[in-house]
Amino acid sequence: MVPRILIVDDENDFIELLQYKLAGHGYELIVANDGVHALSQARTQKPNLILLDILLPDLDGLSVCEILRRQPGTKKIPVIFMSALTGDITKRTATMHAEDFFTKPLDLARLEKRIGELLNLVPLAT
C-alpha cells in the first residue's frame, strides 16, 4: 500500500513545493487549503500522516488536530505541524497534540526523514 499524506496549508506555492519534494518518494498526496476541508479529507481519505499548518482560514490547525484526536477514525493519524509561528508556547501546545513541529521555512531534508520515521519506512534514530 502506498502511504497517503494529507498536506494542509493555505499557501498554494508552499503546497506545490511540498508536492514536488514528496512526490519522488512515491507517496500519494492529498491537499486541503483550510481546516474544514482538512477534517473532511482526513475522514474520507484516511491518510497515513498529516502535514498541518497552524494558521489556516476558518479553523486553525491546533483546533483541527484536537478534533482529529477526539474521533476514533482519525485519532491515531500522526500529525506534523508546520508554522511560521516560532514562540515556545505555540511549539509546546502543538507538540502536546502532534508528533512533531517544524518551523517555516522548513528543513526539507529533516522533514522527509521524519516522515519516513513516522511511516516506519526508515529505521528510527537511536
Secondary structure of 82-124 in HEC code, one letter for each residue = EECCCCHHHHHHHHHHCCEEEECCCCHHHHHHHHHHHCCCCCC
Quick one: DSSP state of residue 26?
Answer: T
Instruction: Give the predicted TM-score (pTM) of the model.
Output: 0.91
Domain boundaries, the chain: 4-118
Three-state DSSP state, 4:
strand
CA distance to 26, 62, 89, 112, 120, per residue, from 23 (Å): 6, 26, 33, 11, 18
Q: Cα separation of 63 and 50, whole Å? A: 14
Pair 4, 48: CB distance under 8 Å: yes
> Is the pLDDT assigned to residue 106 strictly greater than 90?
yes
Q: What is the largest CA-CA distance in the chain?
A: 40
**Which tens digit of pLDDT belongs to each residue from 69-99?**
999 999 999 999 999 887 776 777 777 889 9
What is the per-residue pLDDT for 92? 77
- CATH homologous superfamily for 4-118? Response regulator (3.40.50.2300)
